[in-house]
Structure 1
Amino acid sequence: MISTLDMKGSFFTYLNEKNKYSVEMIKCMERTVQKLLDTETTLDRPGMLLGKIQSGKTRTFLGVMSLAYDNGYDVVIILTKGTKALSQQTLERLKAEFKDLNEEDKIQIFDIMVLPTLTRYERHQKLAFVVKKEIRNMDRFHQAFFETYPDLIDKKILIIDDEADFASIGFTNKKDEEPEIKKIAGKIDEFRQRVEGCSFLQVTATPYSLYLQPEDIAIDSEVFKPIKPIFTELVPIHDKYIGGEYYFQNSEEEGSIAYHLYKEVHKDELSVLKKQDRRVFKIEECLFNNKIKSLRDAVVTFIVGGCIRRMQDRQKNVVLRKYSFIIHTEQAKAAHEWQESIIDAIVEKLLQESRENSPLFHRLIQDAYANLEKSIELSPLMMPGLPEVVLETKKALDEGHIMITKVNSEKDVNQLLDTSGQLKLRTPLNIFIGGQILDRGITIGNLIGFYYGRRPKTFQQDTVLQHSRMYGARPIEDLTVTRFYTTSDIYSVMQRIHQFDSALREAFEKGKHDKGVVFIQKDANSQIIPCSPNKILLSETTTLKPKARLLPVDFKIRPKTHVQKPVAAIDTIIGNYCKDSSNNPDPFMMDVSDVVEIINHIGTTFEEGHLWNKKAYIASLEYLTALPKDKMLKGKVWVIIRRDRDISREKSDGRLENSPDSYQEKGLAKDIAIDIPAIVLLKQKGTAAGWSGSPFYWPVLVAPKKMQTVVFANHLFAD
């Protein structure tokens, strides 16, 4: 054990002077190295460096690596995800960070697949190896250490598993991947067991949820014992970080810049983008056919937004930056080629219309301008006049400022990446049509547009959030022109994943990780039991935190003949508890069984195809009402009735209404939901825009203050 770390060694001093780490960052690095030295870490019990996506995890583990070199470690092995692009990005980053030390022969950095003959002179220096988590890489890695240079295994070694996820520890829901994943995990574990002075650190933003659970939990006398990392350090979040909170929380707040971020894509449009079918869409109609309206709006808005940002840079007399836009809907290469054809056609025809100064060109630019103006005017930035923006857009089209690039495995990585390992921005406005590489954490600079339509068979946190290349250090100037295009159901899934991710991180930040986050499901007998987190599909979770609201959004009401009977039944149940027929009676308690009956009736009033998970809603009610120790409160729900409401289905700006309860009702519900939940039942007239004309109930559930964060695995609920 080293009681005091050397914080003034040549490696850490060099990187610290170069990167100017914050005090919080240095403390994180110091704690991590100290724990690696003091604790035996293994593949099953690793150290964990937990950060947010694109939040500076690589910067942090490089600092950890430099401090480790100064405190007894000789070799660092960095495991990357299995793509050439990501390993190349990591290699370039290492060479850039340690450039001077490398030139001074203090460190040698290698890709394991292109390892030259190592001299004894080089082997006496500090060494770094980049190894993809892929069988051939792992075999070459073993060969180098156990056959070619066996003296290396006598050195003190640190393995850093970058972008660690389920695959790193052998968990997978894909049976065809399981054998290879287990082989890779086995190779890592075999290496660790054969090398005495070896430490293991995982670095991730998408943790395999196991480690945040308590040592054991018991529900209905069943005990569940999870596996957890031996220690976890949180990567500090810098003040310029933009992540899920901005995209999925702030975007709901009217009056914020983020409110104008999300633009809905119709599901049918994604089908058009899969393959060419002239019966559905003719490419020559790309500037006016509504089958690809969102994509066309996205491309034009990106061009106009990029031009505005460059105009703002020019006004400030700073270097004009280049901007990027991603289209990521399919993995199939044929789809990428089709999408490239569509984007090419949009840009080419936009150029033709520009040269003709046509009304269509001016309408498209004006629509994009009006869209962007809403968010730019909420910032202190200069908003150029429309005529100036039209001229700038014409110039960008005329001078070929727009470059369209397919990003898939057919491309030579060296053509795609710049010297820092990021995707090259070769022109002022760069449109990338995404493939496999965009799944894997590749860095893309100055991203102001993201058109997303990937629907993996299982929405897992480690895949879906890693697609979110829009996270990271983002200046407010870029956020004003940033737009995110996806379908409402994909947006809803990503929102739920963000809620789950936030719950995990909050448990650590508040020091509650010893109690953990409880993962539960319903079994075939409708009993709530512990759930194994490696089976969770993040798209099908419901995260309940103290005071959280849960309500249906994006539903339609059935015709009057289907709604009258269930609404009358709900009125009868309420009448059995509350004789006050006024619009705002006082809150009262109701048995959970009757509230569940009301929720079931409400479910029958909704048209099919809505996103509301009624089973999760009911399970939440049943779980929350079972928590109180006071027998008088167990099985009870506070109920707030509000009648004679008439809220439209959509807000004035076209967004779906997601806050039917007033500010006062939100406050009242949170005030009384202390030990048991509260539910606000809003009886709507149904005559406002978007509804069927029949009265209906809109339920808003509020979780109690005195509860532990819980995650339901909805997909395992019994029918």
Structure 2
Amino acid sequence: MSTPIPLPESTHITSTGDLFEEYLENIASSMGATAAAQTRETAISVVSNCVSAYAEAFGEGSVGKNASGKIAPKSPGESSKVANVTGLLYGKVQSGKTNTSMATVALALENGFRCFVVLTSDNTLLGTLIAKDFKDQLASGPIVYDWEEWHTDPKEFGKRIRQDSRLEDTGVVFITTKNTHHLKSLSVVLREARARHFPALILDDEADNASLDTTKASRSRGNEVEPGATYARIGDIRQELAEHVYLQITATPQSLFLQAVDDPCKPRFCVMSKPGDGYVGGSDFFSEDSVMQREVDPDEFDALRSGKITVGTGPRAPRGLRDALTLFFLGCAQMRLQDLSLVRFSFLAHIDITRVNHGELRTVINDHVTWLDKALRGRLSASDTKEAEADLARAYEDLKKTTKGLKPLNELRKSVERSLRNVRAEIINSDTGGQQVPYQNGPNIFVGGNRLSRGVRIDNLMVTYYGRDAKVKLMDTVHQHARMFGYREKLRATTRLFSTRTILDSFKIIHDADEGLREAIGQDPTNMELKPVWIGPKLKPTRANVLNPFDLGVVLPGRNIYPWCPKYKVADVNSLTKELDSLLKGYEEKKYHDVPVSFLAKLLALTPGEERDGWIWTAGRVREILRALEGSKIGINRGLLHISTRKGAGHEVERKIETPTDTADGKDLAQAKKLYKQAVPILFLRKQRGAKDPDKWDDCPFYAPTLALPRVKFAFMFSNV
């Protein structure tokens, strides 16, 4: 957890209260004592910082321990300008930030805050879910209203709140999506309710999604244009609340670095929320030793998107989808028999944003479920039954790898046979509007589109079948569609992600970059452990004219970096190899040679590599890193060179096709780390023989580089676009 801003001696908070303790008891019963303790710690940190920042901006007495809960009348001539008091709550995807928000509201209420505004994404389903959570979990606390309750007559609605003294009496929570019409109506409600007379807290969920000023870049070029509509409407709400704290909530560490690098208006405080026990996240799905990934042939997703699925005898679903569904059904049976408290489970298929494809995929899934149901019960041919049994056996062998206490296959089969006849896939996309996710007991199958965006929860999601077109930029989608993340410890053994190797590798790259940013931020986001050093071209606005945090990348100190794949074609490297052979004459093999950093840069210019979206290594970026090392901030002018050619014969490393080709020798890297303590950059050049068979090269020798970066107090920031 982050260290709260030190509070002035005269500013104290109440760190407990009936509603706060009641809510934490609910967290403990549903998620465990550790999760409740972490939620308590984070909420106390957030409220402590909010009270401190509020007191600094507006004076003491309105909020905090024994606070009045009212704003003192302003003296004649005193400024009524709304101060910009902004804080940041930063956590992980699907890690319980909504729980922390509710705990924060419960504790802030005890400390004098009376008006709460909760802004959700412009997604009716998500907004409805969050509103229901607040109403259910804070039933004995402030009155909770959502946009549906005031949209017909916001003026009259606000008057009733004022007449009933709701803000002064119990406090009020207003929940709305970031739909501009709803935001405009809320401004009217707040004005009529006289909300500006009470201390307020605005909680902006996914603050980097839809809340940014989309015309800021245009205005900076001298164009006279109005601020973006959503940004402007949120600004109107802030104007109606004379004294408030604006709390941004996000799971994207990129946002913090954008503020550190680009934004002159930084938050006054930042609190890091850590996930509790039982959280299943990126490290589980995308680590090197993950047991949750399953590869699917990319041609399968292409066929599903095109609608060209061959219909004949037997199952209609292609192999990957068949395996995913069968494992899901067996996993459901295992979990039901193992834990009677688990009554419903979910499968998510997400292959495209096109609604026509959603309908086609639903048909394919439903046809396959019908086939599997009948085949297992002997209602089809003997060959169908045999094929269905083979599918079950495949899935059972898969579950054996991860599931302790796996029930006998015959026992699981009986459970599957009883459950399949009522299983039907449901579509969740923009056509289904704001409806709740339609769960039933037992297996649930959902086909989704963009409506499955940030924050939308899928209960007990066990298996995800993900095939979004690889041409779509995945940096956004891993965050927007990471519905597989969440508190699912009980389902960990049966959880799977089915996708193509390319997508899985892309997700891993994104996850590693994400974790790198979190590591750079450290435990206290208000005092980042590593200072950013910008390299290369500055970030450019996206087409929406806002800076996109997903366009930000980072290279951490102490890391080993290398090309996705060295260039190896004769036309590309033949002359370069000869030039390197000449330059490297006189340097003894397998020794560390002290050389200028500029010489390392010269050698690297002769070792071109393939460049991939999201992959750290590009020729320009590496050149800029070395230039930054030599610069005044860091001041490292010399490095080490290590060469290995096997006495000119060359090494024999096989070229990887869909994954990075790492040509380095792990023993050499470990030795260098031990000898030189990562104090200077070290360039490892390994000459490759480049044989066409069996190593998949072009019968031309070449040099493959690995650059070991020094462990300095700086992170190298760059634009991905």
Give yes or no for TM over 0.5.
yes
Return the match for 1:108 from 143, 151, 171: 143
Task: Work out whether 1:502 is the aligned partner of 2:515.
Answer: yes
Change (3 A) 1:352 1:562: farther
Which stretch of the first structure deviates more once superposed, 669-678 or 166-175?
166-175
Q: Could you list the runs of 5+ residues in structure 1 that have no partner in the other structure?
A: 217-223, 418-422, 524-528
Return the match for 1:202 from 230, 248, 262: 248
**Which amino acid letter does the alignment assign opposite residue 127 of structure 1?**
V
Report sequence identity in percent. 24
* 1:599-614 alignment, distance < 5 Å: 599=604, 601-603=606-608, 613-614=617-618
Deviation at 1:659, TM superposition (A): 5.3
Q: 1:335: which partner in 2?
A: 357
Q: 2:283: which partner in 1?
A: 245
Asked whether the equivalents of residues 165 and 462 of structure 1 are also in contact (C-alpha less than 8 Å), the reply is: no
Change (3 A) 1:579 1:3: closer
Deviation at 1:39, TM superposition (A): 1.6
1:337-375 superposed Cα distances (whole Å, 9 cap, x missing partner)? 111122223223333443345343233333333333333
Change (3 A) 1:276 1:551: same
Change (3 A) 1:284 1:438: farther
Change (3 A) 1:145 1:390: closer
> Does the residue aligned with 1:32 lie in a helix, a strand or coil?
helix
Change (3 A) 1:642 1:447: farther
Task: Work out whether 1:410 is the aligned partner of 2:437.
Answer: no
Q: 1:51: which partner in 2?
A: 91
> Does the residue aligned with 1:282 lie in a helix, a strand or coil?
coil
Deviation at 1:230, TM superposition (A): 1.4
> Does the residue aligned with 1:232 lie in a helix, a strand or coil?
strand
Q: Could you list the runs of 5+ residues in structure 2 that have no partner in the other structure?
A: 1-7, 29-34, 58-81, 151-155, 219-223
Change (3 A) 1:360 1:684: farther
1:61-97 superposed Cα distances (whole Å, 9 cap, x missing partner)? 1111011111111121111111111111011101110
Deviation at 1:713, TM superposition (A): 1.1
Q: 2:180: which partner in 1?
A: 135
Deviation at 1:151, TM superposition (A): 3.0
Q: 1:276: which partner in 2?
A: 307
Question: Partners of 1:268 and 1:307 in 2: how far apart?
Answer: 30
* 1:211-222 alignment, distance < 5 Å: 213-214=259-260
Change (3 A) 1:69 1:535: closer
Q: 2:684: which partner in 1?
A: 680
Question: Partners of 2:443 and 2:570 in 1: how far apart?
Answer: 52
Deviation at 1:141, TM superposition (A): 0.5
Count of residue correspondences: 652
* 1:314-463 alignment, distance < 5 Å: 318-354=340-376, 355=378, 356-358=381-383, 359-376=386-403, 381-397=404-420, 399-400=421-422, 402-411=423-432, 413-414=434-435, 417=436, 423-454=437-468, 459=473
Deviation at 1:686, TM superposition (A): 5.1
Question: Partners of 1:309 and 1:472 in 2: how far apart?
Answer: 17
Deviation at 1:608, TM superposition (A): 10
1:197-227 superposed Cα distances (whole Å, 9 cap, x missing partner)? 322111111256256654x7xxxxxxx6633
Deviation at 1:166, TM superposition (A): 4.5
Change (3 A) 1:374 1:206: same
Asked whether the equivalents of residues 375 and 388 of structure 2 are also in contact (C-alpha less than 8 Å), the reply is: yes
Asked whether the equivalents of residues 88 and 248 of structure 2 are also in contact (C-alpha less than 8 Å), the reply is: yes
Which stretch of the first structure deviates more once superposed, 199-208 or 36-45?
36-45
Asked whether the equivalents of residues 444 and 469 of structure 1 are also in contact (C-alpha less than 8 Å), the reply is: yes
Asked whether the equivalents of residues 30 and 64 of structure 1 are also in contact (C-alpha less than 8 Å), the reply is: yes
Q: 2:712: which partner in 1?
A: 706
Q: 2:78: which partner in 1?
A: none
Question: Partners of 1:262 and 1:641 in 2: how far apart?
Answer: 36
Q: 2:554: which partner in 1?
A: 543
TM-score by length of 1: 0.80
> Does the residue aligned with 1:491 lie in a helix, a strand or coil?
helix
Change (3 A) 1:261 1:139: same
Change (3 A) 1:129 1:300: same
Question: Partners of 1:708 and 1:272 in 2: how far apart?
Answer: 47
Question: Partners of 1:288 and 1:460 in 2: how far apart?
Answer: 29
Question: CA RMSD, aligned part only?
Answer: 3.8
Return the match for 1:639 from 630, 638, 642: 642
Return the match for 2:271 from 227, 233, 237: 233
Change (3 A) 1:704 1:266: farther
**Which amino acid letter does the alignment assign opposite residue 461 of structure 2?**
L
Deviation at 1:244, TM superposition (A): 1.9
Question: Partners of 1:43 and 1:409 in 2: how far apart?
Answer: 38
Deviation at 1:510, TM superposition (A): 3.9
* 1:616-635 alignment, distance < 5 Å: 618-619=622-623, 621-623=625-627, 625-627=629-631, 633-634=636-637
Deviation at 1:252, TM superposition (A): 0.5
1:261-296 superposed Cα distances (whole Å, 9 cap, x missing partner)? 22334444333232324xxx424478488xx44333
Q: 1:526: which partner in 2?
A: none
Question: Partners of 2:278 and 2:645 in 1: how far apart?
Answer: 42
Which stretch of the first structure deviates more once superposed, 163-172 or 40-49?
40-49
Q: 2:213: which partner in 1?
A: 170
Q: 1:84: which partner in 2?
A: 124
